[in-house]
């Protein structure tokens, strides 16, 4: 792994506050016995192991995973047929030892990602990335979730087919945490997480087609099947207050085909859509169906027949940890599709507090291309709901599958 610091040491990326992501800005290298520790290992099986930061022993010896936590990791991986230094390439989220072995700061992680970690991933092209600990998670996954940081307890247990990194991502606890905990329950969970390394390292990586989005004005163009997933973009969370309305809707009819449209203002114009919702022969799916059901009753004065699936409720049944049931999170951990809402998220927030407050979606529509941005976001919500529901039905062994 020569070359990761040939020119990268002096390169940096600017921050809005004028500071830069660089070794000089970070400054940890000034006090480390092994500054800018190089990636270590042969990586024969394409596994990239990312830890938190070098400890005292690693800093003295010049390689990662040399202390008690490293020995625990080596022993556990060996028990499942993985050699840490032959089969894996090892690097840390921060590659200079922090003072007093403290946890790296977010800025230090950002610096080392910019200078080293991102380059390691790009040049090594791993088939699987094993993330050990919070700093490792922040260095990779955390890049997508800056506004909604989630800890190790939320991320562990998933094996993510990340479409950006184009490899499996497996987050779990850092071995030092397991070593300190020293209880059978934590060790058992950790071993179960690591066992998935051998399960996924040679597993074909899934690629997903770009959804086929049909932007329509005439709602009679919608071709329906036995199951549909739909989504609304509205002026707020609750439909009861004056001024609230449904701005647009989308309806996915398969895992790759979805219709998106601005909601017609007349009852006659909406009729092809409300007829679909009221058709008992078509199963309806949504992520938190209470939202769509309430808005349909209050604002469209229509009823939805044959609710078939709520992917948010199913997500909770499959995994009842807090913080895992949101559609964006579920889309990422199941399909590896990174956040697709950052561009529109500010407009979905209300200026005032309260469930009946009106959000800023109208400001988006006033921008050039704003309508298309909104419709695409709405369409992706529906089609990812559909994909998620199909996957959940298989996992739960639900007895109605439309294929």
Burial 101-136 (b: 16+ CB within 10 A, else e): eeebeeebbbbbbbbbbbbbbeebebbbbbbbbbbb
What pLDDT is stored for residue 10 in this prediction?
A: 34
The angle subtended at Cα 338 by Cα 334 and Cα 341, nearest 5°, is: 115
Give the count of beta carbons closer than 10 Å to the beta carbon of residue 339.
17
| Same structural domain, 392 and 318 | yes
Whether 7 has a pLDDT exceeding 50, the answer reads no
- The helix/strand/coil state of 359 is strand
Quote the number of domains for the chain: 2
- The helix/strand/coil state of 128 is strand
More confident position, 355 or 6: 355
| Same structural domain, 100 and 242 | no
Q: What confidence category does residue 352 fall into, taking pLDDT thresholds of 50, 70 and 90?
A: confident
pLDDT digits (tens, 9 = 90+) for 128-169: 999 999 999 999 998 887 666 678 999 999 999 999 999 999
Q: Which long-range contacts (CB under 8 A, 24 or more apart) does 15-22 make?
A: 19/107, 21/110, 21/111, 21/113, 21/114, 21/115, 22/111, 22/114, 22/115
What pLDDT is stored for residue 147 in this prediction?
A: 60
Whether 288 has a pLDDT exceeding 60, the answer reads yes
| Same structural domain, 188 and 236 | no
Domain assignment present for residue 403? The answer is no
| Same structural domain, 285 and 190 | no
Q: What is the pTM of this model?
A: 0.92
pLDDT digits (tens, 9 = 90+) for 92-109: 999 999 999 899 999 999
Domain assignment present for residue 3? The answer is no
| Same structural domain, 279 and 383 | yes
Alpha-carbon Rg for the chain, nearest whole angstrom, is 24
Domain assignment present for residue 206? The answer is no
| Same structural domain, 154 and 252 | no
Domain closes at, from 152, 178, 200: 200
Left if phi > 0, otherwise alpha if psi is -120 to 50, otherwise beta: which for 43?
left
- Do residues 324 and 267 touch, judged by C-beta distance below 8 A? no
Q: What confidence category does residue 6 fall into, taking pLDDT thresholds of 50, 70 and 90?
A: very low
Residues 6+ apart with CB under 8 A from 107: 19, 25, 26
What pLDDT is stored for residue 284 in this prediction?
A: 97
| Same structural domain, 238 and 139 | no
Q: What confidence category does residue 20 fall into, taking pLDDT thresholds of 50, 70 and 90?
A: confident
Left if phi > 0, otherwise alpha if psi is -120 to 50, otherwise beta: which for 331?
alpha
What pLDDT is stored for residue 250 in this prediction?
A: 98
What pLDDT is stored for residue 12 in this prediction?
A: 45
What are 197's two structure tokens? 């390394």
Domain assignment present for residue 402? The answer is no
What pLDDT is stored for residue 194 in this prediction?
A: 97
Domain containing 189 — which CATH number? 3.40.470.10
Find the domain containing 118 and state its range.
8-200
């Amino acid at each position: 792994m020569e070359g990761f610091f040939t020119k990268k040491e002096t390169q940096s990326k600017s921050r809005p506050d004028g500071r830069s992501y660089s070794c000089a800005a970070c400054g940890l290298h000034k006090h480390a016995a092994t500054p800018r520790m190089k990636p270590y290992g042969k990586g024969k099986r394409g596994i990239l192991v990312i830890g938190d930061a070098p400890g005292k022993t690693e800093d003295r010896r010049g390689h990662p995973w040399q202390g008690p936590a490293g020995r625990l990791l080596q022993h556990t991986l060996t028990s499942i047929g993985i050699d840490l230094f032959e089969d894996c390439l090892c690097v840390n989220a921060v590659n200079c030892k922090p003072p007093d072995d403290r946890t790296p700061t977010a800025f230090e992680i950002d610096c080392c990602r910019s200078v080293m970690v991102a380059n390691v991933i790009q040049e090594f092209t791993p088939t699987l990335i094993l993330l050990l600990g919070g700093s490792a998670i922040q260095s990779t996954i955390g890049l997508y979730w800056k506004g909604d940081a989630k800890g190790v307890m939320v991320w562990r247990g998933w094996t993510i087919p990340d479409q950006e990194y184009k490899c499996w991502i497996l987050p779990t606890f850092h071995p030092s945490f397991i070593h300190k905990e020293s209880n059978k329950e934590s060790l058992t969970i950790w071993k179960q997480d690591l066992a998935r390394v051998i399960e996924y390292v040679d597993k074909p990586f899934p690629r997903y087609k770009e959804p086929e989005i049909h932007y329509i004005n005439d709602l009679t163009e919608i071709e329906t099947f036995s199951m549909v997933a739909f989504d609304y973009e509205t002026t707020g969370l609750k439909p009861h207050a004056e001024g609230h309305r449904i701005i647009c809707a989308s309806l996915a009819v398969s895992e790759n085909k979805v219709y998106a449209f601005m909601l017609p203002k007349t009852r006659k114009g909406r009729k092809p859509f409300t007829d679909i919702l009221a058709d008992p022969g078509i199963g309806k799916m949504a992520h938190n169906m209470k939202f769509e059901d309430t808005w349909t009753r209050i604002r469209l004065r229509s009823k939805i027949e044959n609710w078939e699936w709520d992917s948010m409720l199913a997500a909770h049944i499959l995994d009842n940890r807090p913080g895992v049931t949101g559609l964006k999170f579920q889309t990422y951990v199941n399909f590896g599709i990174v956040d697709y809402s950052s561009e529109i998220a500010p407009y979905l927030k209300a200026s005032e507090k309260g469930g009946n407050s009106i959000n800023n979606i109208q400001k988006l529509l006033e921008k050039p291309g704003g309508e298309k941005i909104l419709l695409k976001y709405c369409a992706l919500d529906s089609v990812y709901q559909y994909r998620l529901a199909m996957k959940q039905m298989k996992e739960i062994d639900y007895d109605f599958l439309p294929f």
